[in-house]
């Protein structure tokens, strides 16, 4: 398939020219701003029209009932849904008594620019009202990385051609009407107008609304303050009700005259703090940002983003589409985690209500590796959030009659929220995903305090889970049965290779950590016999292999099943399969929703030879339909490793453009943060060949023909390491890190890297060990236009 562009291709901006109301919701996701604490969708300033209004606070949710046709032991009783909280984005405009609504009048020009270098969203517009009055509008919006509670908008209008009477209305609105959340009337009732007013107040240009949720009993406060500028002598009035506050300012503009308003909005929420405490918190945040001022806030934002790009940017020469897309993806990854500060990173970040705002395993498997290498503080905070839910995970394990901790498949607060247990409760690999993300952070940063206080308890409790879940069989191997691996088109299987390999590493690293922190482990009731049992299980882990086909099996016996009829599915346009076929049929056939064994060969690659990877990649690529946005990047990483560089580039393109081209037709609900992280993974781990097995950095770079040069940086143990790759060689340098000496490997060759002494090494030739793999009919990866 050829994918058409919607946004102008530029290296550091995402620019939309014109306005397509049919695609408004997708643009709102693309132009969403967040800092990990506050998230605001890219709705038009005036509010109407909109695709999906949305303002979110991380982990601010409401509980709702989970419906079941039949009850069952261990089923979660309630779910959690992220809430659209008080909307502070709104600035309505009336032009000679006619509301600015782009469905009426004539739109001469409309342009939105997400500036990835400054962290600002700009809008430029010229509109003619139905009565013939013309105004120009410029607005700039930001969600502050430096002042966590603050969102701000600068909004300016100019009269064109004739005197024009204008009125600005800046609003705070709670309990906005939204599209239906759920077909379940019980859930719909809970989520309809979920905020109950507690207090409202106004003074001068400042207003405050305080609400709490009905069921989850969380309290939030939102306040706004304003500076009016442009024409002198413009007064303002403030009106307030329990769910609504509005500042109104009006005047008559001569042609060329301007009226502007700078709006600062502050948010705070808590499950424990009192109403006066929240009121004071928001009031203080507004006072602080008024002291900073708009220009100061913009300067702070640019400084924060500059620091991020200095150690995170990937410079791609030869593919401008991917260049823009990978920077767009990195920016959204930063937005998702920068100031989350011990709260979850959801699958959609804070860009939409998709997946009810839940966090899944893809946070630890796809997003945290990127943040660990580029913004390690954000990765640490996400892992500390998991630690804060450890007692809930212990309770869940006890309910499942297991030892240790069983982390939830999907959640906001830490409780299991999935009603479909074969793809959730049985997806035990999430526990190893979390544990090994903590290990990776320790390897990359050398943070001993984190290792002792955070990684150790999670490693211990997840190791206990695996020890109680698995067993030694007659073959003396350690088996784990009745689980679901990353491929959700296979469920309740024996010895899923990914799960087993990740569990083995989890057990091994738990044993190492317990030995390293003996006193702390003793306080967790770990003894020498338990450590020895973990090491024994890890060493004996079962890894199923098909001797006849000479490939590892995704799970025991998987290669013996009947192959799915891909031709029929392509003919009937029956994708994604779960919407066109019963799971019973899917589960008993050879068809993969997403990378599974291939994913294991990336993260546990030192458990396989290159020949084993090449054969397995060719075998499973022909079975993988990529009905998940998580798949393309993993297939791209392994395609690059086994020498299929052009195919890897195609998978890179798909991962990178998941939201800019709306490839799965669901970006309206929010961006796919893991797929956007996957663009970095495909470039850096695929074409850069980066691996961190055993806590050692190795590289095996090779570029596809379409990329002429690639440069990227990673943060490793306090140093910034830069790698520049050309078709002929790779140059490694350390740009800070004092007198640190790095021991690295390049295509298997060990070398040392010292500060200010770059090392350039030749890239050896490579020949793929198999022919170019095929994909299921109609499921070849997406391609961008070569002329872009």
Number of Cβ within 10 Å of residue 560's Cβ equals 11
- pLDDT-derived band of residue 737, with 50, 70 and 90 as boundaries? low
Give the separation between CA 777 and CA 687, rounded to whole angstroms: 27
Per the model's pLDDT, the better-predicted residue between 421 and 233 turns out to be 421
- Which segments of 559-685 does DSSP mark as H helices, in order? 566-571, 583-587, 597-603, 610-621, 631-641, 645-656, 673-681
Catalytic entry in 28, 416, 488, 530: 488
Cα(262)–Cα(435) distance, rounded to whole angstroms? 45
Inter-CA distances, 140 with 114, 152, 155, Å: 10, 8, 7
Calculate the CA 188 to chain-centre distance.
Answer: 27
pLDDT top residue among 766 and 701: 701
SS3 call for 734: strand
Measured over the CA atoms of residue 44, residue 47, residue 51 and residue 53, the dihedral's sign is positive
Element (H, E) at 750: strand 749-754
Confidence at residue 71, expressed as pLDDT on a 0 to 100 scale: 84
Tokens of 691: 């691996």
For 586, the token pair is 């899917």
pLDDT-derived band at 741, boundaries 50, 70, 90:
confident
**CB-CB contact of 308 with 374 (8 Å):** yes
Q: Per-residue pLDDT tens for 262-276? A: 999 999 999 999 999
d(Cα 637, Cα 635) in Å, to the nearest integer?
6
CA neighbor of 653 nearest in space, from 708, 601, 707, 712: 707
Task: Name the pLDDT band for 67 (thresholds 50, 70, 90).
Answer: confident
Give the list of residues 6+ apart from residue 686 with CB closer than 8 angstroms, or none: 636, 637, 638, 639, 640, 641, 648, 652
Residue 301: how many CA atoms within 13 Å on its side-chain side?
Answer: 29
| Pairing status of strand 55-57 against strand 551-552 | unpaired
Answer yes or no: is pLDDT of 185 > 70.
no
pTM of this structure: 0.96
Query: Are the CB atoms for 5 and 786 separated by under 8 Å?
Result: no
Q: Tell me the CA distances in angstroms from 164 to 131, 502, 783, one per residue in order.
A: 11, 66, 49
Q: Residues 744-757: what's their mean pLDDT?
A: 94
Cβ(687)–Cβ(672) below 8 Å: no
Q: Does the active-site annotation cover 341?
A: no
Q: Considering the chain, what is the average pLDDT of its residues?
A: 95
Mean pLDDT of 703-730: 96
457 forms beta bridges with none
Coil/strand/helix, residue 210: strand
Q: What is the pLDDT of residues 547-571, one digit of tens each?
A: 999 999 999 999 999 999 999 999 9
Helix axis angle for 673-681 and 631-641, nearest 10°, is 10
The total of other beta-carbon atoms located within 10 Å of residue 235's CB is 9
- What lies within 8 Å, CB to CB, of 738 at 6+ separation is 718, 755
Residue 462 CA, chain-centre distance (Å), reads 24
Strand-strand pairing, 783-784 and 2-3: parallel
The band of 162, judged by pLDDT with boundaries at 50, 70 and 90, is very high
608-640 residue pLDDT tens: 999 999 999 999 999 999 999 999 999 999 999
The answer to whether the CB of 489 falls within 8 A of the CB of 596 is no
C-alpha dist (Å) from residue 647 to 569, 726, 773: 23, 19, 8
- CA distance linking residue 120 with residue 297, whole number of Å: 11
pLDDT band at 178, cuts 50/70/90? confident
**Does 164 have pLDDT greater than 60?**
yes
pLDDT value, residue 180 = 67
Q: From start to end of 380-450, where are the E strands? A: none
**At residue 785, does pLDDT exceed 90?**
no
Q: Is 212 left (phi over 0), alpha (psi -120 to 50) or beta?
A: beta
Mean pLDDT, rounded, for 363-392: 98
pLDDT for position 1: 43
Distance of CA 514 to the CA centre of its chain: 32
Q: Are 534 and 459 in contact (CB under 8 A)?
A: no
The per-residue pLDDT for 187 is 46
> What whole-number distance in Å separates Cα of residue 48 and Cα of residue 324?
29
């Amino acid at each position: 398939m050829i994918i058409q562009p919607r946004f102008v291709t530029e290296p550091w901006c995402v620019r939309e020219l014109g306005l397509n109301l049919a695609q408004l919701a997708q643009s709102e996701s693309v132009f969403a701003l967040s800092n990990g604490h506050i998230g605001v969708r890219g709705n038009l300033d005036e509010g109407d029209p909109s695709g999906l209004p949305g303002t979110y606070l991380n982990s601010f949710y409401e509980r709702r009932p989970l419906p079941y046709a039949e009850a069952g032991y261990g089923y979660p009783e309630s779910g959690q849904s992220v809430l659209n909280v008080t909307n502070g984005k709104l600035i309505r405009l009336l032009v000679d008594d006619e509301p600015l609504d782009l469905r009426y009048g004539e739109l001469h020009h409309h342009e939105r620019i997400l500036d990835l270098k400054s962290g600002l969203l700009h809008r430029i517009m010229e509109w003619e009202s139905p009565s013939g009055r013309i105004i120009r509008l410029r607005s700039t919006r930001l969600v502050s990385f430096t002042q966590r509670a603050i969102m701000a908008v600068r909004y300016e209008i100019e009269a064109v051609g004739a005197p024009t009477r204008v009125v600005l209305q800046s609003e705070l609105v709670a309990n906005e009407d939204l599209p239906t959340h759920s077909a379940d009337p019980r859930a719909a009732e809970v989520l309809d107008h979920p905020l109950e007013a507690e207090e409202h107040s106004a003074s001068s240009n400042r207003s405050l609304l305080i609400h709490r949720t009905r069921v989850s009993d969380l309290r939030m406060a939102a306040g706004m303050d304003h500076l009016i500028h442009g024409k002198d002598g413009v007064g303002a009035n403030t009106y307030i009700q329990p769910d609504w506050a509005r500042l109104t300012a009006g005047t008559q503009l001569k042609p060329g005259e301007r009226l502007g308003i700078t709006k600062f909005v502050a948010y705070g929420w808590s499950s424990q703090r009192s109403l006066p405490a929240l009121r004071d918190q928001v009031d203080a945040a507004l006072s602080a940002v008024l002291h900073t001022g708009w220009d100061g806030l913009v300067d702070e934002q640019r400084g924060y983003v500059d620091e991020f790009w200095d150690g995170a940017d990937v410079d791609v020469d030869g593919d401008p589409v991917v260049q823009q897309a990978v920077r767009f993806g990195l920016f959204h990854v930063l937005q998702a985690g920068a100031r989350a500060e011990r709260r979850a990173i959801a699958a959609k970040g804070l860009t939409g209500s998709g997946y009810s705002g839940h966090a899944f395993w893809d946070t630890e498997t796809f997003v945290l590796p990127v943040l660990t290498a580029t913004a390690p503080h954000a990765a640490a905070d996400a892992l500390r959030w998991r630690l804060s839910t450890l007692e809930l995970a212990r309770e869940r394990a006890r309910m499942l009659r297991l030892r240790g901790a069983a982390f939830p498949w999907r959640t906001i607060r830490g409780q299991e929220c999935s009603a479909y247990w074969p793809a959730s409760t049985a997806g035990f690999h999430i526990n190893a995903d979390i544990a090994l993300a903590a290990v990776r952070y320790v390897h990359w940063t050398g943070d001993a305090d984190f290792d002792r206080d955070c990684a150790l308890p999670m490693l211990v409790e997840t190791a206990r889970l695996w020890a109680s879940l698995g067993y030694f069989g007659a073959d003396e191997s350690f088996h784990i049965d009745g689980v679901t691996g990353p491929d959700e088109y296979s469920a309740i299987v024996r010895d899923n290779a990914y799960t087993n390999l990740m569990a083995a590493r989890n057990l091994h690293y738990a044993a190492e950590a317990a030995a390293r922190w003996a006193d702390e482990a003793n306080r967790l009731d770990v003894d020498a016999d338990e450590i020895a049992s973990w090491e024994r299980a890890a060493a004996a882990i079962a890894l199923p292999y098909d001797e006849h086909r000479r490939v590892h099996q995704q799970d025991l016996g998987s290669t013996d099943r009947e192959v799915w009829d891909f031709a029929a599915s392509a003919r009937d346009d029956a994708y994604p399969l779960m919407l066109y076929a019963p799971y019973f049929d899917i589960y008993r056939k050879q068809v993969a929703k997403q990378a599974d064994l291939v994913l294991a060969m990336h993260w546990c690659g030192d458990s396989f030879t290159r020949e084993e990877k090449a054969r397995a990649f060719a075998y499973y690529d022909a079975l993988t339909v990529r009905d998940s946005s998580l798949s393309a990047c993993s297939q791209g990483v392994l395609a690059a490793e086994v020498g299929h560089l052009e195919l890897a580039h195609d998978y890179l393109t798909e991962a990178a453009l998941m939201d800019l081209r709306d490839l799965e037709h669901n970006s309206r609900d929010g961006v796919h943060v893991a797929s956007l992280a996957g663009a970095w993974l495909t470039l850096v781990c695929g074409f850069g060949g980066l691996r961190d097995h055993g806590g050692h950095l190795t590289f095996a770079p090779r570029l596809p023909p379409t990329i002429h040069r690639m440069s990227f940086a990673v943060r490793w143990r306090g140093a910034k390491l830069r790698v520049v790759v050309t078709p002929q060689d790779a140059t490694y340098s350390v740009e800070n890190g004092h007198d640190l000496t790095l021991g690295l490997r390049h295509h298997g060759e060990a070398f040392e890297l010292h500060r200010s002494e770059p090392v350039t090494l030749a890239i050896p030739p490579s020949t793929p060990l198999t022919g170019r793999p095929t994909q299921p009919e109609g499921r070849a990866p997406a391609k961008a236009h070569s002329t872009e």
